[in-house]
Amino acid sequence: MKKIVLISAALLLSAPSMAAGDKEAGKKIVEGQCVTCHGMNGISQNPGWPILAGQYENYLVHALQGYKSGERRNAIMAGFAGALSEQDMKNVAAWYASQKAALKISPKP
């Protein structure tokens, strides 16, 4: 039993931590940078831009880190993500994750 507890503790300590973001701080960033394409509540009006409302925080942070590092390639997002700190990314992710998820289906032509 003691061995299981020690292994569990070691795994928890070695796992990357994901501090929670501050959604109100994220809202301010969204208002200044993200709103034009993704909308204030994460529901884009352009089918070429993803809907972010209700996405998982960890996914959004990972995506922003990918744009910043160049792992994900998009010139526009690279510029925006490049200006964000790790905490800014967590804050933006917290804001969009807190929004009501939406399914947007385009009408058939």
Query: Could you read off the pLDDT of 44-74 as tens digits, one per residue?
Result: 999 999 999 999 999 999 999 999 999 999 9
37 has pLDDT over 70: yes
Could you tell me the pLDDT band of residue 102, with boundaries at 50, 70 and 90?
confident
Work out the average pLDDT over 26-36. 96
Sorted by sequence, the CB contacts under 8 Å of residue 27 that are 6+ apart come out as 95
Find the angle CA(10)-CA(16)-CA(18) to the nearest 5 degrees: 125
CATH of range 20-97; options 3.20.20.80, 3.90.1150.10, 1.10.760.10, 1.20.120.1200: 1.10.760.10
Work out the average pLDDT over 69-88. 96
For the chain, the structural domain boundaries read: 20-97
